[in-house]
Chain A
Amino acid sequence: ELKVEQNPLFLSMQEGKNYTIYCNYSTTSDRLYWYRQDPGKSLESLFVLLSNGAVKQEGRLMASLDTKARLSTLHITAAVHDLSATYFCAVEFRSGYALNFGKGTSLLVTP
């Protein structure tokens, strides 16, 4: 069964702190995506990770992929309120096949 599991599903953190969101998936994958969704809004692409060991960074967010462990992480450095949103990982299990989304991690950054 194809599964994509994110944890935690809810995360409340203080500004300035660091934290990591985890995305585990059940079978071999060719690529993994991270998306951001603000409340009531659409999804915005953050990162595409294409190979084992891939690391991408944008501002305070850094994503990595370990295909052997079937794990991707989204690391947040020195969180700010603007990062409050829901973050989804999505996995492409076979090239040219469907994307499977995790349930999302709802992040709230408080002062």
Chain B
Amino acid sequence: NAGVTQTPKFQVLKTGQSMTLQCAQDMNHNSMYWYRQDPGMGLRLIYYSASEGTTDKGEVPNGYNVSRLNKREFSLRLESAAPSQTSVYFCASSSSFFTDTQYFGPGTRLTVL
């Protein structure tokens, strides 16, 4: 039981490049989330998926898109990376939509030059 896994762990992009961050969970959770963490800012919600087949914007969605591929997988795409998107990205999942403890993945450290 791996919990929540994320790939890659580290990534360096140039401004304007695109990439997809992958997230998978093996806990049969219904809900999945993407957060970004910046120094001194806590965690901010980018997008979430309350259940398979649904996605919604969080607090800071601009510049990102998501896909809930199936119940296990939730990907985050940066279409045209900007330096302001340099951050640590965490994926999380929970059994019920926000009414249960969220379990976090190990994070992806992204640098945009």
Q: Which residues of A contact B (CB under 8 A)?
A: 4, 9, 31, 33, 35, 41-45, 48, 88, 90, 92, 95-99, 101-104
CB neighbours (8 Å) of B42 from chain A are: 4, 88, 101-104
Closest to A88 in B: B42
CB neighbours (8 Å) of B48 from chain A are: 98
How extensive is the interface on chain B, given as a class? 20 to 34
Interface of chain B: mostly helix, strand, loop or mixed:
loop
Interface of chain A: mostly helix, strand, loop or mixed:
strand
- Judged by a CB distance under 8 angstroms, whether B41 is at the interface is yes
* Complex CA distance for A34 and B82, rounded to whole angstroms: 32
Among B92, B98, B101, B103, find the residue whose CB has the most chain A CB atoms closer than 10 A: B98
0 or 1 for each of B79-113: is its CB under 8 Å from A? (1 = yes): 00000000000101000011101111111000000
Q: Which residues of B contact A (CB under 8 A)?
A: 40-45, 48, 50, 58-59, 90, 92, 97-99, 101-107
Closest to A45 in B: B101
* Complex CA distance for A96 and B97, rounded to whole angstroms: 6
* Complex CA distance for A84 and B100, rounded to whole angstroms: 26
Check A98–B97 contact: CB distance below 8 A.
no
Check A45–B102 contact: CB distance below 8 A.
yes
CB neighbours (8 Å) of A45 from chain B are: 101-103
Check B105–A98 contact: CB distance below 8 A.
no
